[in-house]
Amino acid sequence: MPATITIASGATWEEVAADRQRHRDISLASFKPSLLNLPASSIPADATAIPRSILTAQDVEITEKNVEDLVLMLASGRWSAKTVVQAFMRRAALAQQLTNCVTELLPEQALKRAAELDDHLAATRKPIGPLHGVPISVKEHIGMKGLDLNAGFVGWVGRVAEEDAHILQILWAAGAVFYVRTTQPQTLMHLETSNNLYGTTVNPYNTTLTAGGSSGGEGAIITLRGSILGIGGGSIRSPAANNGVFGFKPTALRLPVGGWSATMTGADHIVPTIGPLSTSLEGVLLFVRTILHARPWLKEPSLVPIPWKDEVQLGEEGKGIKLRIGVIWDDEVVRPHPPVVAALSQVVEKLRGSNEVEVMDWQCYKHDLAWDIIAKLYFCDGGAEEKAAIDASGEPLRPLSKWILEENPHVQEHTISTLWQAHRERDAYRASYAAVWNERGVDVILCPVGPGVAPKLDTSRYWGYTAQWNLLNYPAVVFPTGIKVGRDTPGVGTEDLDAHEYPADYKPMSSADAYNYGLWKEHGVKGYAGAPVSLQLVGRMYEDEKLLRALDILLDAAGLAKTC
Amino acid sequence: MPATITIASGATWEEVAADRQRHRDISLASFKPSLLNLPASSIPADATAIPRSILTAQDVEITEKNVEDLVLMLASGRWSAKTVVQAFMRRAALAQQLTNCVTELLPEQALKRAAELDDHLAATRKPIGPLHGVPISVKEHIGMKGLDLNAGFVGWVGRVAEEDAHILQILWAAGAVFYVRTTQPQTLMHLETSNNLYGTTVNPYNTTLTAGGSSGGEGAIITLRGSILGIGGGSIRSPAANNGVFGFKPTALRLPVGGWSATMTGADHIVPTIGPLSTSLEGVLLFVRTILHARPWLKEPSLVPIPWKDEVQLGEEGKGIKLRIGVIWDDEVVRPHPPVVAALSQVVEKLRGSNEVEVMDWQCYKHDLAWDIIAKLYFCDGGAEEKAAIDASGEPLRPLSKWILEENPHVQEHTISTLWQAHRERDAYRASYAAVWNERGVDVILCPVGPGVAPKLDTSRYWGYTAQWNLLNYPAVVFPTGIKVGRDTPGVGTEDLDAHEYPADYKPMSSADAYNYGLWKEHGVKGYAGAPVSLQLVGRMYEDEKLLRALDILLDAAGLAKTC
């Protein structure tokens, strides 16, 4: 393998990026026989049907299993780990051509690992662990021993992980096969995925839209079933929602984060999280259970030692055992686009007809204040580390880096005194929200994931619907409703959007709302055609198990699928 | 009641202090009939026998019960809450005369509360909760509605708590009676207890020594049984050890801290704790169980929702179920004074003779580095808030305030960048210590609580033996060994100290060790005569239940009492 070209070795940022892309293309090259040699211009806006039309029947069969079924095929030896991972590598390579979601395939190490697992099963007749042979895709910011760990900065190319990230070690011990790394945005602080190394990751359902971020590569590859279980970090919910897959952001300090790469390490004002994206709710559950079963807190002492709980208590104590769901229609800052309101209405209507759940409206408690508080805590050094990482190569700021770092009025260089003040505001807000929740006694909150479906590229500016729960450190899970924008396109939902259109005399509630309203007026149903509509379910801090159980109940009650 | 005299009302700091003392004395005045009118000069160095010689037989009987027995007498109605709290108020008033540990008695509210509880029991024949009628003493920095909340600063006198601290609300609901507030040091950052409002709290066993701190008032009042269960905060272990009582510092974020008063709120780099001091291990357990049973995390969202666990796993997995104890003889920075080494030897010898435990030496992992790291995180603003609070009144710095703020080379005003660096060092150290613990597989660590027994006033400069576990956020509990310094004094232990004397050619390991060595050479057995020798048991983060269970086993195995 040729040496990595880096800024330190005297290259320009463009040369470094070109080398990274070359490296990626070489890793994909051996999968050429099965790849359609598609020129970008011939890819239809909705690319989701393409892989199935190209792959062999067996590859399709394998890659269209969900995790819970795939593990059975692998553990029984009906499919070898090698056969399975080869199918996923072929489909991942296709996903890359369609959405630009891959930074490198790992055929050598994946095939070696698969052989090891196949040998183990042959010798012992037992799977090595609960994830025996399951291929898992990994966002590039999670360290893999011996591989580049650049955090999306051109200037950081050449940094190599000394060991696998903690979470990978656990998944490895459970039998996982790592075979592909996926894209991340510059700064990791976009709700989209674009950087100067690989360009922009687009949405498989409509390639004029973003795949979301910062785990957009995971979102896109999972939609296209180049993976059925992947590791993301940060929002997790934005890419899951934009791509219509399941995504779970756990309570911080439950799942390990040791060994990832980003700026601002040591900034624990808002603790970041890693979590799974999957084609199925069961995939999410298996991931989380497997990790907690390994007691990661013994190695990573910042974690809270709460084992996975199978039993959860639903309903307000003494008020029966129905799942109680509070519904946020809008956050009183930005009204979601009509498809989101329509999908939420349809789901809530079904829930109201169910005997298993109780539904009530949830009036937001100062969500505008929440954004002020968290935005002040995101870049406590005034963005100095971000800027240094960017300036290290001379690469330009991507539009959304510019937006979050330079056009965000909340960015300030804190002193210790202003930092403590910001902590106090955060803690007071959390206590107030807890008091509100105590009073209302719901189990979970059902709400939008963002102010619309997958946005047009470089327009994802409003973070409120996800950042709100980051500030509160509430776990949140995203699920697809099965509804897609554009009634007239075959195969999409039938909800009548018109009933949820903005009123003719709509007056925006805020400047962010005016921007969002303008996007809808500009692009409308045609502009967002094909985009899946997803929703978010939110639980109280550390009630991750209850949240996932609640989603299971909700999906049943609303007649929605647990897979996609 | 006359208005509080404050700096804001134009008074000098001396006038404010005099008014606070007047307020305290008025609160004690109604207990005069039972008080010995002792001039300070006539108090023997060991004051512990005095209360028993003055109080009525019934008062002695009541105040010499431990919590676990007192609750039975109260719940059965054999003693009324009123009778009980009156006895404790009389003994608390004595404790104040002997050690200067009280900031105010609360006879009015205590008697009102007791009457309410007595009425409840008469009407329902049931105790109101698990602490029905139990008098609990409260360190002054914990907010009580309508009472002064000055955090030990003259300039803060006049700040009044708007509501009871969260922990008091829970204890109240469980049936507690609050009747006395106890002293705190200026800045709360001394291992002693002295401020310019009330002067210095001294040790009941030897009034030339400190009661420790920052909860020295609690330590002293509990030793004298002016209380049998109190709430401290901060070290907790220093005052418990110096006074020979039980004291438990829980893992941070398990017990509520909402509503206490101190500088540097919002500084969550090292999270402070509140915990119990008691005359019995059962008192500690009842306190912790009662609070966790109330699910405090629902109201205070920074807390971790781990309920009290009755079942704990002892011994390294797969290696049997014996309690495994690692022993730290010294931390390789400061060698403890001979009485501590002697007591530790005696206890370890007994443990080695027990079938219930396994004992092994624990080699310290860079405890000197630990102090560097934590000391850098204690005053991240360079001490600015402390200094502002002191300067607000013009009060002088107490000697140990000067020591920790001005003579401590680790105090620095951080930038965000140096703060993050300090966080990274903290987290790396925690991870390294966890790795060491994983490898060695003990359940708990047995170690000194400090570099000696209760120090001479204003000499408590070495924090390593307790701060170590604060940095790691490990829970720790202190227990008396029954040994007291000075073989020739009646009633003290029989251990031969000579065998543990410093070698004639002793070379100090560090400047802190030289200072500590000098203290012993200067004061020796005579200087510390009567001081109890206590030890510390330390558990892993969040293993609070296991730690307390381990102490129970250890005390049995070593033939030590569970009460004092």
DSSP B242-306: HHT-EEEEPPTTTS--TTB--S-TT--SS---EEEEESBHHHHHHHHHHHHHT-GGGTSTTS---
Both tokens assigned to A259: 């060994």
B438 touching A, CB under 8 A? yes
**Cβ within 8 Å, pair B420-A381:** yes
Amino acid B374: pLDDT = 95
Residue B550 has φ and ψ, to the nearest 5°, of: -60, -40
A13-37+54-298: CATH, from 3.90.1300.10, 1.10.10.1100, 3.30.420.40, 3.40.50.300: 3.90.1300.10
Amino acid at B421: Q
| Mean pLDDT of all residues in B134-147 | 97
Element (H, E) at A340: helix A338-352
Q: Do residues B101 and B24 make contact, with C-beta atoms less than 8 angstroms apart? A: no
Residues A22-29: contacts with CB within 8 Å, 24+ apart? A23/A104, A24/A96, A24/A102, A24/A103, A24/A104, A24/A105, A24/A198, A27/A104, A27/A105, A27/A106, A27/A107, A28/A93, A28/A96, A28/A102, A28/A105
State how far residue B64 is from chain A, nearest Cα, in angstroms: 39
**Residue A404: C-alpha distances to residues A199, A268, A378, A399 (Å):** 18, 19, 10, 9
Amino acid B491: pLDDT = 38
Chain B hits for A266, CB-CB cut-off 8 Å, are 419-424, 427
**Residue B508: C-alpha distances to residues A169, A173, B58, B332, B503 (Å):** 44, 48, 52, 10, 11
* pLDDT tens digits along A340-366: 999 999 999 999 999 999 999 999 999
| Mean pLDDT of all residues in A86-101 | 96
The count of CB pairs under 8 A between chains A and B is: 106
Q: Is the pLDDT of residue B36 over 80?
A: no
**Cβ within 8 Å, pair A420-B542:** no
Amino acid B24: pLDDT = 97
B316 touching A, CB under 8 A? no
Q: Is the pLDDT of residue B429 over 90?
A: yes
Residue A395 and residue A7: Cα distance in Å, rounded?
Answer: 11
For chain B, give the mean pLDDT: 94
Residue of A304, A316, A420 for testing the chain B interface, max B β-carbons within 10 Å: A420
Better-scored residue on pLDDT, A548 or B317:
A548
Cβ-nearest to B431 among A301, A420, A541 = A301
B163 touching A, CB under 8 A? no
Both tokens assigned to A115: 């052989």
Amino acid A486: pLDDT = 85
Amino acid at B495: E
Chain B hits for A438, CB-CB cut-off 8 Å, are 298-299
**Residue A249: C-alpha distances to residues A352, A547, B485 (Å):** 27, 11, 56
A378 touching B, CB under 8 A? no
Both tokens assigned to B399: 């000697």
A302 touching B, CB under 8 A? yes
Asked: is A323-558 a CATH 3.40.50.300 domain? The reply is: no
State how far residue A502 is from chain B, nearest Cα, in angstroms: 37
Amino acid B313: pLDDT = 78
B430 touching A, CB under 8 A? yes
Residue B189 and residue B152: Cα distance in Å, rounded?
Answer: 11
Query: What percent of chain B is predicted at pLDDT more than 90?
Result: 89
Cβ-nearest to B265 among A381, A420, A434 = A420
B313 touching A, CB under 8 A? no
**Nearest residue of A to residue B422, measured between CA atoms:** A266
Amino acid A496: pLDDT = 61
pLDDT band at A489 (very low <50, low <70, confident <90, very high): very low
B33 touching A, CB under 8 A? no
The ipTM of this complex is: 0.94
Amino acid A493: pLDDT = 44
The answer to whether domain A13-37+54-298 and domain A323-558 are alike in fold is yes
**Nearest residue of B to residue A438, measured between CA atoms:** B298
**Cβ within 8 Å, pair A434-B265:** no
**Nearest residue of B to residue A380, measured between CA atoms:** B416
Amino acid B262: pLDDT = 85
B529 touching A, CB under 8 A? no
Interfacial A residues in 182-201 facing B (CB < 8 Å):
none
Chain B hits for A299, CB-CB cut-off 8 Å, are 431, 434-435, 438
Q: Is the pLDDT of residue B202 over 70?
A: yes
Burial group, residue A316, by CB count within 10 angstroms (0-12, 13-18, 19+): middle
**Nearest residue of A to residue B543, measured between CA atoms:** A305
Q: Do residues B174 and B131 make contact, with C-beta atoms less than 8 angstroms apart? A: yes
Domain borders along chain B are 13-32+67-298
**Cβ within 8 Å, pair A301-B414:** no
Amino acid A40: pLDDT = 63
Both tokens assigned to B295: 């699910």
pLDDT band at A268 (very low <50, low <70, confident <90, very high): confident
**Cβ within 8 Å, pair B416-A419:** yes
Q: Is the pLDDT of residue B400 over 50?
A: yes
**Nearest residue of B to residue A421, measured between CA atoms:** B266
Query: What percent of chain A is predicted at pLDDT more than 90?
Result: 89
B307 touching A, CB under 8 A? no
Both tokens assigned to A456: 């047009």
Q: Do residues B386 and B401 make contact, with C-beta atoms less than 8 angstroms apart? A: yes
* pLDDT tens digits along A192-207: 999 999 999 999 999 9
Cβ-nearest to A416 among B305, B413, B472 = B413
Among candidate residues B27, B80, B82, B139, the one labeled active-site is B139
**Residue B3: C-alpha distances to residues B17, B28, B109, B153, B156 (Å):** 14, 18, 19, 18, 15
For A294-298, B28-32, B351-355, which range has the lowest pLDDT when averaged over its residues?
A: B28-32
**Cβ within 8 Å, pair A413-B416:** yes
CA angle A302, A305, A309 (to 5 degrees): 140
Smallest Cα–Cα separation from A102: which of A29, A164, A172, A205?
A29
Amino acid B490: pLDDT = 41
| Mean pLDDT of all residues in A265-283 | 93
Query: What percent of chain B is predicted at pLDDT more than 70?
Result: 95
Chain A hits for B413, CB-CB cut-off 8 Å, are 416
Cβ-nearest to A380 among B416, B422, B472 = B416
CATH number of B13-32+67-298: 3.90.1300.10
Q: What is the dihedral of CA B513, B518, B521, B525, to 10 degrees?
A: -70
| Catalytic positions of A | 139, 214, 235
Establish whether B53 is a catalytic residue.
Answer: no
Residue B223 and residue A76: Cα distance in Å, rounded?
Answer: 67
- A182 pairs with which residues across the strands? A102, A139
* pLDDT tens digits along A432-459: 999 999 999 999 999 999 999 999 999 9
Q: Is the pLDDT of residue A537 over 80?
A: yes
Smallest Cα–Cα separation from B256: which of B286, B223, B293, B222?
B293
**Residue A472: C-alpha distances to residues A269, A271, A373, A431, B310 (Å):** 12, 11, 11, 9, 30
Residue of B298, B373, B420, B543 for testing the chain A interface, max A β-carbons within 10 Å: B420
Q: Is the pTM of the predicted complex or chain greater than 0.80?
A: yes
| Mean pLDDT of all residues in B435-446 | 97
- A285 pairs with which residues across the strands? none
